[in-house]
Amino acid sequence: MLKKALIIVILIACWRLQAQDTINNKLQAQFIDEPIKIDGNLNKIVWKNAAKINDFTQRELIQGAKSTEKTEVAILFSNDKMYVGIWCYDNQPKEIIAKENKRDFNYNIDDNFIFIIDTYNDKRNGFMFVTNPNGARADLQVFNNGVSTNIFWNGVWNVKTTVNSEGWFAEMEIPLYTLKYRADIKEQVWGINFERNIRRKREQVRWKAWNRNNRIEQVNLAGELHGLNQLSNKKFVEIKPYAIGGGERANSKIRPVGNLGGDVNYLITPTYRLNLTFNTDFAQVEADQQQVNITRFPLFFPELREFFLEGEDYFNFGFGGNRIIPFYTRKIGLNEQRQTVPIIAGARILGKENRQTLGLMSLQTAETPSQLSTNYTTASWRQDIGKQSVIGAMTTHKIDKNAWHSTTGVNGRYSTSKFLGNKNLDIGGAYIQSHEHDTTFNRQAYAYRAFVHYQNDFLTIFASNQKSPAAFNPEMGLMRRRDFKESFALINLKPRPKNWLKWIRQFDFVPTGLTYTQYNNDNSVQSFEYQIRYLGFETKKGEKIGFDYKIMAEGLKDSFSISEGILIPDSTYWWRQYEFEISTFTGRTLSMYNKLITGQFYDGKSLQTTSEVLWRANKHFNLLVRYNHNNVRLPSGSFQINLLSTRLEYAVNPMVFGSVLSQWNSAADEFSMNFRLQVIPKVGTDFYFIVNQIYDTSSGAFNHMRTTVLGKLVWRFML
């Protein structure tokens, strides 16, 4: 009887928790005939008469409690635009934290307001928009309820804010063509959710999905937006030409630099968009953040080019991590030395109709002294299954006049946020095959991955298994390891103290973190790592501390050069390391992060330190200084590597901003500087001014190697 009573109590509690989060689940949008002047003033008659929601609930610090500050939201729309009114009342407006002022700002450290909208109402994907009291803008695409996001997506929209004695207020304007939505239904119903962060209190409130197990990206738990019964279905053509000009000085020689090109975007239907690109240029992309590599595996550099990031999720084989990346877009338009290979032209179609998502992309690169003119083509298909699950297939092809390579695979994922009541569970996998079309089909040229992920506030469990025989070779991908099979398991406990240690927000323990990688051909150890986090926690004020113990191993079948003149002989090495991390709350004017790794390393010892200091002077200037030091002592020799970088970010206002990134790498004896200024004369049009410099420091002095100065204008107009 006691067990039955306990089960009944748990079921009732789960039902009440779910019911509390579904009351008042609808927001009614209202149609207006006249456009609104966007100035951040919400005293207009249309806003006073708009239907508002104000039932926000704390997710942090006290789950389920009412918000300590009043928040209201209303939505209006016209034939071609959506307007969002946001009232963020605050009893202490002078304590509002807002020091970011640029496009795509770091919204995790400021007071902000977030809203996410699921225009397909497929309960999987959405568009997320963020602003802060300064009117800074950030936006991203969300896929598969936050399994992946595209933070580099830049929609065309505008926001203005005001701050007064009552708090801060925002007025957003989003053209409907920025969004994709179904055209085959008379009245749209969209998924929608809202979140406000009050940084000084570490308070986070939401309209829906305020349970700590849930993330704002989980649109399957969002509310509903109704009243969208007069949406425009007009087709449009967006033309974005660019012009670039400047010069480069190297080896005492100066050469002019100039180029013309552009993109054409055509909305075939409200859900399918065609992108055409000609003489594609990425001059405005920031330089890569340099990395120190003291492993025998190649480094992974993330994609930074907006054209490839915009459709990133469409062309994802579903392998996760960076052991195997079957389609690595940095192989297109860049050579092994990360130098530009001209892209002549390309086309891309992305979209979703009903429950099917389709993507197609084809690009042609020019011939260079080191590479033939090559075509890169990829296609993907994905089918929604049930409420949150999905299956899909994808193929990529690299073709030049001498060879044709393809990689093709299938993937699937079962997802639910209702496991054991309201818990998140993902189970999935992928299988792919590579093929050289001038040779016979090799059945051993395959790779697979399977995983299960239980990710929730108190307990996270992740387990995966993957394999890649030696014959597998995705030429359009990145293989950081070859001929291997790997098992991974992680258990992460994050209890929250209630009646003791009240200054701690949440603990972070890892009783088990295991990565076991074997050579596929003989099952011997390739790599091994066993991690225990003895202590980790975050305070209610935002400080974090972590202490880890690791047992590691590397099985070398061949010796490898870890530094110039220093070889590690082939053998199997086992060692132990200790890792310590401490950081302060980044929302403060001055914050810091420190990480120390010390202990054994192969048959020697190592000390690795990383230190960061972030100074958020005001809303116009932020300065980040990062120093990485590696001291390795081995029987065959010792070496040190130092990496120093500074990033100064400045913003006159949300339309004029930039950065200066300087880096010195002692291993390469090189100092580099990247200066970027971006001006947005009007939303959708951009001007960039870029200066790149590289100096050789091997002699102890700064010897000039190359300077490039460029100006680039991208303007936009509609047909």
Hey, where are the domains in the chain? 25-228
Distance CA 128, CA 38 (A): 20
Q: How does residue 9 score in pLDDT terms, banded at 50, 70 and 90?
A: very low
Could you read off the pLDDT of 123-178 as tens digits, one per residue? 888 999 999 999 999 999 898 888 888 887 888 899 999 999 999 999 999 988 88
Lowest mean pLDDT, pick from 27-31, 317-321, 384-388, 459-463: 317-321
Report how many helices (DSSP H) and strands (DSSP E) the chain contains, helices first.
3, 45
pLDDT at 108 over 80: yes
Do the beta carbons of residue 57 and residue 65 sit within 8 Å? Answer: yes
Omega of the bond leading into 61 within 30 degrees of 0 (cis): yes
CATH no. for 25-228: 2.60.40.1190
pLDDT at 112 over 70: yes
Q: Residue 89 carries which side chain, given as an amino acid letter?
A: Y
- Pick from 302, 324, 328: nearest CA to 315: 328
pLDDT at 596 over 70: yes
Do the beta carbons of residue 623 and residue 647 sit within 8 Å? Answer: yes
Structure tokens at 665: 């790498």
3-class state of residue 221 by DSSP? helix
Mean pLDDT throughout 1-9? 39
CA distances from 110 to 106, 614, 660 (A): 8, 14, 22
* Cα angle: 87, vertex 91, 95; to 5 degrees: 100
Beta strands in 602-655 (DSSP E): 604-616, 621-634, 637-653
Mean pLDDT throughout 184-195? 87
Do the beta carbons of residue 415 and residue 425 sit within 8 Å? Answer: yes
Lowest mean pLDDT, pick from 16-20, 369-373, 395-399, 572-576: 16-20
CA distances from 334 to 343, 460, 538 (A): 10, 38, 41
Question: Which residues neighbour 384 within 8 Å (Cβ) at sequence distance 6 or greater?
Answer: 122, 124, 355, 356, 357, 390
Which segments of 21-165 does DSSP mark as H helices, in order? 45-48
pLDDT of residue 310: 73
Could you read off the pLDDT of 17-49 as tens digits, one per residue? 343 344 578 999 999 988 899 999 999 999 999
Could you read off the pLDDT of 285-295 as tens digits, one per residue? 666 777 777 78
Task: Please state, rounded to an integer, the average pLDDT across all residues of the chain.
Answer: 88
Could you read off the pLDDT of 51-91 as tens digits, one per residue? 999 999 999 989 999 999 999 999 999 988 899 999 999 99
Mean pLDDT throughout 436-450? 92
Structure tokens at 7: 């089960």
- Pick from 360, 267, 258: nearest CA to 711: 258
pLDDT at 222 over 80: yes
